[in-house]
A and B are shown apart, each in its own frame.
Chain A
Amino acid sequence: MDEALTYVLLMLASTLRVATPLVLCAMGGLFAEKGGIVDIGLEGKMLMAAFFAAATAAVTGSAWVGVAVAILAAVALAVLHGFACITYRGNQVVSGVAINILAAGLTVVLGTAWFARGGQTPPLTGSERLPPLFLPNAGDNVLVYAALLSVPITWWIIGRTRFGLRLRAVGEVPIAVDAAGISVAWLRYRAMLLCGLFTGLAGAYLSIGQNAGFSRDMTAGQGFIALAAIIFGKWRPLPAFGACLIFGLLDATAIRLQGVKVPGLGEVPVQLIQAMPYLLAVFLLAGFIGRAVAPKASGVPYVKEH
């Protein structure tokens, strides 16, 4: 009995550890998407933040400075996305792709130039990593709890504040918000700032929380899994959080199922489990399991009438 309980607790812990960056990233993405900005650059922001967190921690010796610089890096990319999509009304998908590719290249270029380790940062030890808070050896650093907190905070901001109400309006009918004398651009920029903040935390978690350093392409598609979680959660914080947990559980199971024969099923290919979030998102988008409807104005630049 005890063994079963320990097993469940271990699974829960590893699920949470895997889901933390997904949750933070998905909450960040929600702000952008709710405000009508399609952000497929979550992956790039997270990757850039992960690099700058580890690089800063390695140089300064402080994980906390690393977190701060990670947030700055992600916010810078988020503002760049805003600059291209809000101010210059560029294509949001193109801008997102650019940010992903830029981050994939820049992290390795800067990493190699600064640390000469083939794109990796030096291994981090001691105060250069985020310490566990309550449980020894469980990896429960402050960002795990931040991820858990980010869900009610996002829910509250989007659902219960004036800013949230206006943000939702801007994602649906921006002209109404404009007519009420509220700046569409400034609302959307604030959404991007929040998006940068959360994706920055997600990236910092990857490189100085969960792992001890940055390695190239370490986000490995997690930004897109977070995007899938947003879709799966039908653009609502709590269901998106649930989707992140499911995807985290899938990932945690995939690690444990490697080479194990499941009774009745035989050996389940690990790749199938890894592809599950993407498959589920496609099924959902196709309307085979419920219907996911994006904010109406998403992807459409707003042209202010004079």
Chain B
Amino acid sequence: MTVLRRTAPGPLPAWAEIVLLPLVNIALAFIVVGLVVAVIGIDPFHALRLLVVGALGSSESIGYTLYYATNFMFTGLAVAVAFHAGLFNIGGEGQAYIGGLGCGLLVLALGDVLPGWLVVPLAIAAAALFGAGWAAVPAWLQAWRGSHIVITTIMFNFIASALMVYLMVNVLIAPGSMTPASRAFAVTGWIPAMHDVLQAVGITVAPSALNLSIVLALACCFVVWVFLWHTPGGYALRTMGHNPEAAVYAGTNLRRTTMVAMCFSGALAGFVGVNELMGVHHRIVLDFPAGYGFAGIAVALMGRNHPLGVVLAALLFGALQQGGAELAFEIPSITREMVVVIQGLIILFSGALAQLPRPWLQSLFALRD
């Protein structure tokens, strides 16, 4: 007996799965952003033009775009590494904060004694160590005590924030200062600014906040790629993320792998402190993570948790951050928080609602056949 039945839409071709679906998701997010811009009475295309010019229009704006992208690369990688292990690290904000404390303390302690070629690597290591340490506690609590890592990492963001306010106001504040910031770092603890480095080799660019931390960020992307896809440890980590039972069967120690994944993740987030404090502020300041930790979730989702994707997504977010600032300067009724709206919408459409366009695409492809 034959039953007439509408053919169920088949699976999407691989290229549509990898390229088209994510692009449609991002397009949806930007359509909603355009609607928000239109609702507050501004022509979205005019705003877009100002944003692009603001992000890429001059060597100064490109410098700032890349400087923001550096932070997004660090936090995006942090989320991605944990994600591959099946762990959701929303503690990037706190880990970045404590990572900054780590490199800041080291530079304050040793910056006057040791030469720069020794202080900078030590401080970078300190940032990694402190960031990893702040992630290690929730990781340990998850691995040994079974508490949920999402909740504990959220709570650790607030605990980090309270701790930093206490330290800055009561302990680390520069003597005689009214604002809660530490004394300035010795020059040995500064990461060289990109315009100075380029000047030294004869290229003149406008000064910006961009510094050599971006090299560290790109190196981290490479290390993450090698680690995740070309080492036994990375293989164990990804196996745990896909199927914990299979990982156990293959001899993986889940507790140890959880610790490795989260410490790696926390160290990456901690490098935001290197870019911000050693690269730009040259002292420990309050609230420097400024949402980069949370934005890392959007970066990782958009970059599909792959280092190359993270670099591309971080560049886009960096451009949005810089272009958004310029846009807010040009049009007073738009604020910088428009970028936060975009981040939220990208997390929504590329993450939680990622499957929304799938049926549409499936019917489209079914039509073609």
Contact = CB atoms under 8 A, between A and B. Distances in A.
Contact of A282 (B90, B155, B356): B155
A275 B159 contact: yes
B301 interface: yes
A89 B352 CA distance: 8
B353 A97 contact: no
Nearest to B295: A101
A168 B344 CA distance: 31
Contact size class for A? Answer: 35 or more
B244 to A, nearest CB: 15
Nearest to B335: A112
Contact of B90 (A93, A95, A274): A93
A109 interface: yes
A84 B348 contact: yes
Nearest to B154: A224
Given A119-B337, A224-B155, A271-B166, A106 B344 contact: yes
Interface in A146-176: none
Interface in A79-123: 80, 83-85, 88-95, 97-106, 108-110, 112-114, 116, 118-119
Contact of B352 (A94, A100, A221, A281): A94
A287 B145 contact: yes
A73 interface: no
A22 B36 CA distance: 30
A102 B291 CA distance: 12
Contacts of A99: 344, 348
A286 interface: yes
A182 interface: no
A302 interface: no
Contacts of A208: none
Contact of A278 (B36, B150, B155, B352): B155
Interface string B337-369: 111111111011001111110000000000000
B335 A108 contact: yes
Contacts of B341: 102, 105-106, 109
Contacts of B123: none
A95 B146 contact: no
A119 B335 CA distance: 9
Interface in B310-345: 332-335, 337-345
Contacts of A294: 148
A103 B341 CA distance: 8
A91 B351 contact: yes
Given A93-B90, A282-B152, A98 B352 contact: yes
A282 B351 contact: no
A119 B151 CA distance: 29
B155 A271 contact: no
B122 interface: no
B166 A272 contact: yes
A15 to B, nearest CB: 20
Q: Which of A40, A118, A275 has the most CB of B within 10 A?
A: A275
B158 A221 contact: yes
Interface in B256-294: 291, 294
A290 interface: no
A41 B35 CA distance: 23
A186 to B, nearest CB: 20
Given A274-B162, A275-B159, A110 B40 contact: yes
Contacts of A212: none
Contacts of A83: 353
A159 B163 CA distance: 40
A91 B88 CA distance: 11
A227 interface: yes
A90 B338 contact: no
B166 A104 contact: no
B344 A287 contact: no
Contacts of B334: 109, 112-113
A18 interface: no
A106 B36 contact: yes
Q: Which of A89, A269, A294 has the most CB of B within 10 A?
A: A269
Nearest to A80: B348
A85 B145 CA distance: 27
Given A88-B355, A105-B337, A269 B170 contact: yes
A144 interface: no
B348 A98 contact: yes
Contacts of A9: none
B9 to A, nearest CB: 16
B159 to A, nearest CB: 5
20 contacts: A90-B351, A94-B352, A95-B351, A98-B348, A98-B352, A100-B344, A105-B337, A108-B337, A109-B337, A228-B155, A231-B151, A269-B170, A271-B163, A271-B165, A275-B159, A279-B155, A281-B151, A281-B155, A282-B152, A285-B145
Interface of A: 38, 40, 80, 83-85, 88-95, 97-106, 108-110, 112-114, 116, 118-119, 221, 224, 227-228, 231, 269, 271-272, 274-275, 278-279, 281-282, 285-287, 294
What are the nearest 4 A-B pairs in CB distance? Answer: A105-B340, A102-B344, A95-B352, A285-B147
